[in-house]
Amino acid sequence: MIPTHHQAFHVTRYGGPEVLELKTLPVPQPGAGEALVRVCAAGVNFVDNYQRSGLYPGEIPFVPGNEGAGEIVAAGADVPSTRIGQRVAWASVRGSFAEYAVVPAARLVPVPAGLDDIHAAAAMLQGMTAHYLTHSTYPIQPGDSVLIHAAAGGTGLLLLQMARLRGAKTIIGTVSTAEKAKLAREAGATDVILYTQSDFEAETKRITGGAGVHAIYDSVGATTFEKGLECLRPRGTMALFGASSGPVDKVSVKALNKGSYFFTRPTLHHHGEPGGDLEWRSGDVFRWIASGELQLRIGHIYPLAEAAQAQRDQESRGTTGKLVLTVG
């Protein structure tokens, strides 16, 4: 029995975590090509913070949350009724910080038996992000050297493991504490730099014998970008995919010319479309989790009502691994 109303967070203005308001709202109705999903778990990601703050502006008001897992309970026109009851997961669609969410059916991937909702929700956005970065943005080749910032975060730990799976020889991770350094090494980092104690540019050059790295995967942004360019070898790739320390507003063409560097600002939106990328990337991630080749570290699980606290904890950069909300 589907209720008429549900609990959902509602953002009516841009701001800090305090603008997240838990309200009783009508349960959304699926339209053509859409499905209504009873949300069981929702992933917490930096993109949620960027949308909430207005860094990534969009339509207001909205229900936040770009990743989740649950069960299809109703189907709109053009969606087979046989999908009702199917366990599914999704990413890059807002609305998962709620008890029910409407999601385009084409973006819902089946959750394999044996994978629980918490891990299914935790795997989607960050797992596919790590996949496109290491397989498409700069496809790591055996023997490569790479630098991964925020290496003990949810995406960072997955990037380390995928770099290892791809055969990278030198995998450098930057972290802020000894505890995080231990996690990074366990995930596959061959070298770890505590940026609170050492200059990561100087350390990267030392580790690579002055050669620099083939690629940098940077989710930090403002505080790491310019120094990161100095860590690249000629024709190296700078993949900037986040802005946890603030956005990078200007890129110097002269700085890129120094080493014929490649610079890109990729997003999952352009690397996770249904009919190809979505199925490929989510299929790989789920298969690697099932086989044990990929380990998901769940840093903390919060009830839905504590979504604002989850975002505060994430923004403090004191967390490790993936943060997840449980619903119901």
What is the pLDDT at residue 127?
96
Domain boundaries, the chain: 5-125+270-326, 142-265
Both tokens assigned to 296: 């998901």
Q: Per CATH, is 5-125+270-326 categorized as 2.40.50.40?
A: no
Answer whether the bond into residue 61 is a cis peptide, omega within 30°. Answer: yes
- DSSP, collapsed to helix, strand or coil, labels residue 280 as helix
Report the first-to-last Cα separation within the chain, whole angstroms: 15
What is the pLDDT at residue 129?
97
Report residue 247 CA to chain centroid gap.
17
CATH code of domain 142-265: 3.40.50.720
* Number of residues written out for the chain: 328
* C-alpha–C-alpha distance, residues 302 and 308, integer Å: 10
H/E stretch holding 7: strand 5-10
What is the pLDDT at residue 66?
96
What is the pLDDT at residue 1?
87
For the chain, the C-alpha Rg in angstroms (whole number) is 20
- DSSP, collapsed to helix, strand or coil, labels residue 120 as helix
Both tokens assigned to 198: 């050492």
* C-alpha–C-alpha distance, residues 63 and 43, integer Å: 14
* Residues of the chain where predicted confidence (pLDDT) is lower than 70: none
Amino acid, single-letter form, for residue 230: E
Do residues 282 and 127 touch, judged by C-beta distance below 8 A?
yes
- pLDDT, one tens digit per residue, over 174-215 is 999 999 999 999 999 999 999 999 999 999 999 999 999 999
Closest alpha carbon to 200 in 213, 182, 183 = 213
What is the pLDDT at residue 199?
96
Two domains, one topology: 5-125+270-326 and 142-265:
no
Supply φ then ψ for residue 187, to 5 degrees: -85, -10
* C-alpha–C-alpha distance, residues 284 and 294, integer Å: 10
